[in-house]
Amino acid sequence: MKAMIREIACHLPERVLTNDQLAEEYPGWSAEKIEEKTGIRERHIAGETECASDLAVAAAQKLFARGGVDPKQVDYVLLCTESPDYPLPTTACLIQDRLGLGTNCGALDFNLGCSGFVYGLGMAKGLIETGQAENVLLLTAETYSKYIHPGDKSVRTIFGDGASATLVQGAQGEEKIGPFVYGTDGSGAKNLMVGTGGGRRAQVIDAETTEDSSGNRRTINNLFMNGAEIFNFTLKAVPEAFSNLLTKSGKSMEEIDLFVLHQANRYMLEHLRRKLKIPDEKLPLAMAHCGNTVSSSIPIVLEGLAASGRLKTGQCLMLLGFGVGYSWGGALVHW
Amino acid sequence: MTQAEFLEEIDAITQADPGTTSLEDRLADLKSWDSMAVIMFIAMTDEKLGISLKINMLASAESVGDLARLCGWEGGDSVSLPNSGIAGSVAVAGA
């Protein structure tokens, strides 16, 4: 039995933050300049009482409505999120209940960001091919907006909230998912971080707001990103993962039909595309309408490609996720 | 890359009129030297000079000349090594 991706459905929250709205708040930044620099026109933002589980449930319900699987057939739920509903219990347990999945279903959260979908696929493949599960519901859901200070344009322009649901099933035949490459460098942890609210340091009441040299304001409780360090990391990690994955698979670049990279920002992706010498038409972009949705960005690209008819049976895709942690992962997927 | 070409790259990154940026210019005075410009500069050094900059050294740069020195400029007409592409990235510690 080999694992394969059977279906993908994504969900974005209703509320939209446009570049025009951001330009009104940040003097000197026009809507056009924001889009030119980031490739993003708008990003969706969770409502005040809307959590990661709400977005994940909505994505999963869309997937079930497409008829590929009955909820009662799902025997494992993997939820990738860095913004769980609660520190405990596991948000995936709440989702099992809300979706009406059987109580014979396994469920767990795993805390990863931009690399999360690739890691989730790896775990789903492992569960299926070791006979532990037959229908894995891989969910990604993020509400970074709840960590972001309204005065921090460096991250507010980039990140959007969203979720995805992917059905990974077993099937007879050749390998459809794999090989994989993984990487971790925790020395970069401080460069994309929320510094409070966990065991190391509780949330600070009435935390002081500081302003950096670029005029971005935040407190210790907010998301902090050192964009330059993240970019530098990406320039080293992604080419190495790309090369290692080709070597491990024994494939040449020309045998890969599409390269689906984490949608960090358009400038970074276009630079990577030139650096890796990937033809323009083989590196799809899908961030203008949603921003960087963290672990949902790769499945959002895949769903869009499928809906537009660009994905054909038999195509070989390279997925590369990279970012917060630092964590990175790559996989080949045979569609 | 010549010094003139390096300055042209800075003009493009900061959206200045071509030929207006000099090595003596202070970064704080440049029109669009912001976090995105820093990323674009890193991308330029990666793509066109084949070097990987230490961000903490970049953060301490105060002038365009400091940026050039981070890239290996030693006062002549040429800034840094020829572009050596993906395989030849050289870490420039600036120390």
Q: State the pLDDT confidence band at A7, using cuts at 50, 70 and 90.
A: very high
ipTM: 0.78
What average pLDDT does this structure show over A280-285? 96
CA angle A181, A186, A191 (to 5 degrees): 110
Distance CA A271, CA A235 (A): 9
pLDDT grade for B88, boundaries at 50, 70 and 90 = very low
- Which of A74-78, A82-86, A225-229, A298-302 shows the lowest mean pLDDT across its residues? A225-229
Q: Check which CATH number belongs to the domain holding B24 and give it.
A: 1.10.1200.10
**Cβ pair A235:B38 closer than 8 A:** no
Q: Which residue of B lies nearest to A276 if distances are taken between CA atoms?
A: B86
Question: What is the number of structural domains in chain B?
Answer: 1
Q: What is the pLDDT of residues B7-45, one digit of tens each?
A: 999 999 988 889 899 999 999 888 788 888 898 999 999
Q: How far is CA B95 from CA A228, B56, B57, B80, B84, in A?
A: 19, 11, 9, 15, 22
Which residue out of A114, A191, A222, A265 is catalytically annotated? Answer: A114
Give dist(CA A63, CA A57) in Å, integer. Answer: 10
Q: What is the pLDDT of residues A302-333, one digit of tens each?
A: 999 999 999 999 999 999 999 999 999 999 99
Tokens 């992962």 -> residue? A329
Question: Is-cis flag, bond preceding A179, omega within 30?
Answer: yes
Q: Which fold has domain A2-174?
A: Peroxisomal Thiolase; Chain A, domain 1 (3.40.47)
What gap in Å lies between CA B29 and CA A216, rounded to an integer?
Answer: 18
Higher-confidence position of B80 and A136: A136
* Full-model pTM: 0.92
Cβ(A95)–Cβ(A109) below 8 Å: no
Q: Per DSSP, what are the bridge partners of residue A322?
A: A328
At A136, give phi and psi (nearest 5°): -100, 125
Between CA A106 and CA A109 the distance in angstroms is 11
Q: What is the dihedral of CA A201, A203, A205, A210, to 10 degrees?
A: 80
CB A40 within 8 A of CB A287: yes
Which residues form the domain of B27? 3-92
Per the annotation, the verdict on A244 as an active-site residue is no
Give the model confidence (pLDDT) of A177-219 as tens digits. Answer: 999 999 999 999 999 999 999 999 999 999 999 999 888 999 9
Q: What percent of chain A has pLDDT above 90?
A: 94
Q: Domains of chain A: which residue ranges?
A: 2-174, 178-334
Interface probe for A, chosen from B38, B40, B42 (most Cβ of A below 10 Å), is B42
Is the domain covering A178-334 a CATH 3.40.47.10 domain? yes
pLDDT exceeds cutoff 70 at B85: no
Let me know if A262 is a catalytic residue. yes
Q: From the CB of residue A201, how many other CB atoms can be counted at a distance below 10 Å?
A: 11
CA separation (Å) from A182 to A141, A149, A314?
21, 32, 24
Ranges of beta strands (E only) in A143-195 are 162-171, 177-184, 192-194
Instruction: Spell out where chain A has E strands.
Output: 2-11, 15-18, 42-45, 76-80, 106-110, 135-142, 162-171, 177-184, 192-194, 210-211, 217-218, 223-225, 258-261, 316-323, 327-334
Q: Sorting pLDDT into bands at 50, 70 and 90, what band is B80?
A: low
- Tell me if A267 and B47 make a contact (CB, 8 A cut-off): no
User: In the predicted model, what is the mean pLDDT of residues B68-89?
Assistant: 60
Which residues of A lie closer than 8 Å to B, measured between beta carbons? 37-38, 154, 214, 216, 226-229, 231-232, 235-236, 239, 267-268, 271, 274-276
Pairwise CA distance, residues A322 & A261, whole Å = 8
Distance from CA of B70 to the nearest CA of A (A): 15
Residue B81 has what pLDDT? 47
